[in-house]
Amino acid sequence: MQDYLTVPGAQITRAEREFIKQYAELTESRFDNPVIANIGVLWGATMWCIRRGAPDATLYGVDIKLDEGIHRRNDLNAHFIEGDSTEIWKQFNRPIHLLLVDGDHNYETVKRDIAGWVPKVAAGGIIIFHDYAPTDLNLRQFPHIAGVRRAVDEWFNSTHQNEWLNQILIDSIAWFRRRV
């Protein structure tokens, strides 16, 4: 039995939370003035993990509709951008050192997020895709999340294998490191 943090429409395991925190720490230690972008904020569970691991990084949270309470979380010290992630990337002009993609899980949207956000990841940077390998229960409850794996596999198996290192799965997370 997994140790889940569950909120309506979201589920994240303890191992996933620890992994996100650990890689935020690693990002902050490896890069000067690191930029971290979290696509799909919801109520901020992953934002907290990132901030705990990287207290000094510049942190952005992007969501189509931000929960009103998230703006009052001053201790996150984050920049929140409300809007469609498949459009927001067009105005985002900073290299990203850690990108967490956990927004809309429909295939077409994930594919557009990959096309827009992934090219902004710096050499040596990391991408984390949440819900890449969901449980059978999650797939039955939310069948559209199968779009994450399909979009990520298509992206990675196309022409990107030489540019990215594919890492092991952590529960439902798949992650990749851009080669230096």
Question: How much is the pLDDT for 9?
Answer: 45
Closest C-alpha to 97, from 144, 137, 148, 60 = 60
The mean pLDDT value for 25-46 works out to 92
Q: What is the pLDDT of residue 139?
A: 82
| pLDDT in the model for residue 135 | 81
Give residue 69's pLDDT: 63
Q: What is the mean pLDDT of residues 77-91?
A: 91
Average pLDDT, the chain: 87
- What pLDDT score does 37 carry? 97
Please name the fold of domain 4-178.
Answer: Rossmann fold (3.40.50)
Tokens of 111: 């594919």
Angle (nearest 5°) at CA 21 between 74 and 81: 40
Please tell me which residue, 73 or 40, carries the higher pLDDT value. Answer: 40
Does residue 4 surpass a pLDDT of 50? no
Chain centroid to Cα 179, Å, comes to: 18
